Chains A and B, each alone.
Chain A
Amino acid sequence: MSDTTHTGPVLAADGTPLKRSLRRALRAQKLRALALIAPLLIFVLLTFIAPIADMLFRSVENQIVGRTLPMTVEELRDWDGEGTPADSVYRALYFDLFLAAEGKEHTKLGSRLNYEESGISSMFRTTGRDVDNIGKVYQKAIEKVNPAFGEGAFWYDMMSGGQGAEGNETLLSNQIGRLEGLESKTFKGDIGFVPGAEIYKILPNATRAYTAFAAFTVFMDEDVVAEEDPWEAVYPALLLDLREPATMAALAGYQGPGAQELRDLAAQADTLPPVDLKAALVESNEDWLRTEYWEVIKTYSPPYTTGYFLNAIDMEKTTDGIALRADDERIYGILFKRTMFMSMVITFSCIALGYPVAWIMSNLPARSANLLMILVLLPFWTSLLVRTSAWKIMLQQQGVINDVLVWLGLVADESRLVMINNQFGTIVAMTHILLPFMILPMYSVMQTIPQTYLRAAKSLGANNWTAFWRVYFPQSVPGIGAGSILVFILAIGYYITPEIVGGTTGTFISNRIAYHISTSLNWGLGAALGSILLAVVMVLYYAYDKIVGIDNVKLG
């Protein structure tokens, strides 16, 4: 009798422990099940969850400032927010803006920052047009001294340090990285140019500007660096370098290509126009002197921001911290409250109107119940726009209802009721449109409640009301719960009906979201508003689960 005394794990026929073999069998089954639902899972993930997640991510994403103006943001870090920033900031801004304008990215940044402060978009637009001309002044002056500086090949030799010279790969990859950030792309491959290490030490600004030009020429214009004349921006950069006191001494010992030309040019540097990029930018648009614009650039320079969320709750970011918006600009708070309130009113009207209908339907013989069911479903199958427009005709002042009331003499012709383009109109139209979503789950739950319960209650002495309230109603609550959740969640996201019949007092938060997505293009703010709405729904769902219990919801 060895198996009665055996204390080890139970073994399967092949000698492996039964537990493990069972688990293996189950795992295979689970994998098969997973493989079966995989197409749906991937489909939902790719077309639904991921785009929504991506959209919500935009509510905090703010990399555009740092990517378009990397050097400016760096220089601006030390600015205390008083007056205008230092000259070095303007200098960085010029070089940043030049590259951005070549890539036509500066206007994007302008419209982004314009959401925070009016007028910034035209500041970027006008100056973006002028950056070429700012550099031209210096280009002309330098070429007048020595025409060689106007030639692409000469520049290429000078900046690469000639054949076999030691190159500065770090600078090159930095500039390519800057371009990648600006264009949100990745660039790979040899650009046929490496900035010379020695010349970079002597002429840092010019070499950097030229390297940026070289990277842009290869990747964006798809041209060859050595054959192209450099951008206007390298000329003020060169002059800035030559004005540095140390440059003269460094040049004296320099032997690379263009050394003599550079020494000659440096000797005449005093006759060339002074490099005042701040003055040039301000001349292009004097708004560059405005402290509040610089504050906006500084406040929004980090790659992630809470700014959109703050805007969505009527607050704003300032350099002094977070503050409430001015009275006449607060709108989202009102709209959120209104959306919640009206959705609840609509849900309750749906319960009040739908409950008797569902009750009658579940108590009628099948034939008449089906007829009623068609009447419920018929509007459900009609286009949403048609139903909404029909309410317009019904409710307007010269509409059907008012005409009947006037004809009956209940209302004077001059004082026809205003029933549309306000909250009333929205509530009526949306209650009608959402009613089937309430009736259907209620009906399917009520159908399962046996008639005998009511009769039993009555035979035990309950009156009609008690029998209904104590016996029937509690059993129908899961249907009410399911219908309410459906109707409420649909209602707070409604957009087209409030837009058409809501006038000014009946519009929802979704109308603003739609405006920001399709008209103002402020997707960040739209995403923030949407995230808040999503969060509110989840909180309400959680509360519902705690109070009523989500197990009590039944769709049938």
Chain B
Amino acid sequence: MKLTKTLLATTALTVAAGTAVTAQDMADSMTLVSWGGAYQASQVKAYAEPYLAANPGVTITWDESSAEAVAKLRAMNEAGNVTWDLVDAVASDSMRLCDEGLAMELDHDEVLAAAPDGTSASDDFGDLLVSDCFVPQIVYSTTFGYRTDLLPEGVEPPSSICDVFDLAKYPGKRALQKRPIDNLEWALYCDGVAKDDIYPTLGTDAGVNQALAKLGTIKDQVVWWSAGAETPQLLADGEVFMGSTYNGRLFSAIAEQNQPIAMMWDMQSFDLDGWIVPAGLPADRKARVMDFLKFATDTQRLADQAAYISYGPARDSSASLVGKHADLGIDMAPHMPTDPANAGNVHIYDYEWWADNRDDLNAKFQAWLAQ
């Protein structure tokens, strides 16, 4: 075991090169891990800069490794040398990290700030606290955008998720994410399965085949993406007529880059992104991180983030504080996935169900793709 640890320590050192944090009596530096790009920039502006202003002498190092966070954190943990202090992760990853004992379990009411009106943190976040290790920041959604100028003449714009499957009415390629999650649910929904029956149906072999058969009707018209930036590019180049991606990506293509693209919110798939604290941090670093976490997830800070990116704050109490875009000056509320006008018909993806069935369905999905 000891040998393994030394070996892995060297591996983890290579993995985490440059992010090593030396522990001091009271940690005045921390390493935050996020996704890079516009999203991380919004966190720097809304959370980190005000925190640093209030706590001079603290330094924050950013690491853009969230996409590989689960694997890296596991390697660091096995090596006994966790160099990260706070990690941004999507909800399903946070559950996996919690299951693996890699993330610390938190008492949300104790470590998080209450809402301004005194509502406890656990009530303020409500159902979004999907795991004991997870502190949600934003609600984002995977939804569709389409090219307004490629719409066939005299046809009304697509307004239902099932228009994705309607090649006769809306010819052209579609971009879908190269994973079973969301796609199988949408396929079943458009094959006439009631929303409440989607997961029970998907739990059977017949249900999986039904979903894949429905997807099969558009398979040769699908471009499969694996990075969120691909769909906006495919749409901008006119490679696809419509495609799914994260709503913030579409917002930036539409509002910031003025592309002829429009949103279609029907059956948008809600997902969460938030923080986890790695398990087993030394006391001084943990104290610093908890202090930051409490600050960065309070009502005002979450609402501030929405000024930089079109993702909805995870707290109920933040919704009313969402203002205008910092640069464009447009009202952000109508661009939020959580806005009532957009959230008429949403798909709530079942984390627990997918945690159980992901491995199996992924094998089936990949085999289906390869055929």
Q: Which of A25-33, A101-109, A157-165, A477-485 contacts B (4 or more CB under 8 A)?
A: A101-109
Q: Which residues of B contact A185 (CB under 8 A)?
A: 1
A531 contacts the other chain (CB 8 A): no
B70 contacts the other chain (CB 8 A): yes
- Chain A proximity mask over B230-251: 1 for CB below 8 Å, otherwise 0: 0000000111000000000000
B25 contacts the other chain (CB 8 A): no
Q: Which residues of B contact A328 (CB under 8 A)?
A: 209, 364, 367-368
B96 contacts the other chain (CB 8 A): yes
Q: Which of A6-14, A114-122, A134-142, A272-280 contacts B (4 or more CB under 8 A)?
A: A114-122
Contacting pair A520 B10 (CB below 8 A): no
CB contacts under 8 Å to B, within A281-334, are 328-331, 334
Q: Which of B38-46, B55-63, B136-144, B355-363 contacts A (4 or more CB under 8 A)?
A: B355-363
Chain B residues at the A interface, C-beta cutoff of 8 Å: 1, 4, 6-8, 10-11, 14, 67-68, 70-71, 74, 96, 98-101, 105, 178, 209, 223-224, 226, 237-239, 352, 355-364, 366-370
Q: Which of A46-54, A168-176, A250-258, A465-473 contacts B (4 or more CB under 8 A)?
A: A46-54
A552 contacts the other chain (CB 8 A): no
Given A54-B7, A504-B369, are A118 and B360 neighbors across the interface (CB < 8 Å)? yes
Contacting pair A46 B7 (CB below 8 A): yes
Q: Which residues of B contact A47 (CB under 8 A)?
A: 10-11, 14
Chain A residues at the B interface, C-beta cutoff of 8 Å: 46-47, 50-51, 54, 104-105, 107-108, 110-111, 114-115, 118-122, 125, 184-186, 328-331, 334-335, 396-399, 421, 499, 503-505, 507, 512, 515, 517-522
16 more A-B residue pairs beyond the given contacts A118-B361, A398-B239, with a C-beta to C-beta distance below 8 A: A50-B7, A50-B10, A51-B10, A107-B100, A108-B101, A118-B359, A121-B99, A122-B356, A125-B99, A329-B363, A329-B364, A329-B367, A330-B367, A505-B370, A519-B70, A522-B359
Which of A104, A329, A396, A507 meets B237, CB within 8 Å? A396
Whole-angstrom CA separation of A431 from B317 in the bound complex:
55
Q: Tell me the dominant secondary structure on chain B's binding face.
A: helix
Q: Which residues of A contact B355 (CB under 8 A)?
A: 121-122
Q: Which residues of B contact A507 (CB under 8 A)?
A: 370
Determine the residue in chain B with the shortest Cβ distance to A504: B369
Determine the residue in chain B with the shortest Cβ distance to A46: B10
10 contacts across the A-B interface (CB closer than 8 A): A46-B6, A46-B7, A47-B14, A107-B100, A107-B101, A186-B1, A328-B367, A330-B367, A499-B226, A521-B71
Contacting pair A421 B357 (CB below 8 A): no
Q: Which residues of B contact A515 (CB under 8 A)?
A: 362
Task: Identify the 4 closest CB pairs spanning chains A and B, nearest first.
Answer: A107-B99, A118-B360, A518-B71, A504-B369
Total CB contacts across the A-B interface at under 8 A: 102
**Min C-beta distance of A7 to chain B, whole Å:** 54
Contacting pair B357 A118 (CB below 8 A): yes
Contacting pair A520 B359 (CB below 8 A): yes
**Min C-beta distance of B332 to chain A, whole Å:** 31
Contacting pair A111 B99 (CB below 8 A): yes
Q: Which residues of A contact B367 (CB under 8 A)?
A: 328-331, 334
Whole-angstrom CA separation of A512 from B365 in the bound complex:
13
Determine the residue in chain B with the shortest Cβ distance to A54: B7
Q: Which residues of B contact A46 (CB under 8 A)?
A: 6-7, 10
**Min C-beta distance of B14 to chain A, whole Å:** 7
Whole-angstrom CA separation of A119 from B353 in the bound complex:
8
> Which of A111, A118, A119, A515 has most B Cβ within 10 Å?
A118
Contacting pair A111 B100 (CB below 8 A): yes
Whole-angstrom CA separation of A46 from B3 in the bound complex:
10
Given A46-B7, A108-B101, A111-B99, are A335 and B370 neighbors across the interface (CB < 8 Å)? yes
Whole-angstrom CA separation of A397 from B223 in the bound complex:
12
**Min C-beta distance of B81 to chain A, whole Å:** 14
Q: Which residues of B contact A110 (CB under 8 A)?
A: 99
**Min C-beta distance of A189 to chain B, whole Å:** 18
Contacting pair A421 B71 (CB below 8 A): no
Given A421-B224, A504-B369, A505-B370, are A108 and B100 neighbors across the interface (CB < 8 Å)? yes
**Min C-beta distance of A210 to chain B, whole Å:** 25
Given A108-B101, A396-B237, are A54 and B356 neighbors across the interface (CB < 8 Å)? no
Q: Which residues of A contact B364 (CB under 8 A)?
A: 328-329
Contacting pair A115 B369 (CB below 8 A): no
Contacting pair B70 A518 (CB below 8 A): yes
Given A499-B226, A521-B74, are A118 and B11 neighbors across the interface (CB < 8 Å)? no
Contacting pair B8 A331 (CB below 8 A): no
Determine the residue in chain A with the shortest Cβ distance to B369: A504
**Min C-beta distance of B65 to chain A, whole Å:** 10
Contacting pair B362 A398 (CB below 8 A): no
Q: Which residues of B contact A519 (CB under 8 A)?
A: 70-71
> Which of A115, A121, A330, A507 has most B Cβ within 10 Å?
A121
> Which of A184, A330, A397 has most B Cβ within 10 Å?
A397
Contacting pair A121 B356 (CB below 8 A): yes
Contacting pair A115 B359 (CB below 8 A): yes
Whole-angstrom CA separation of A421 from B358 in the bound complex:
25
**Min C-beta distance of A183 to chain B, whole Å:** 10
Determine the residue in chain A with the shortest Cβ distance to B209: A328
Contacting pair A397 B370 (CB below 8 A): no
**Min C-beta distance of B17 to chain A, whole Å:** 12
Given A118-B360, A519-B70, are A108 and B99 neighbors across the interface (CB < 8 Å)? yes
Q: Which residues of A contact B356 (CB under 8 A)?
A: 114, 118-122
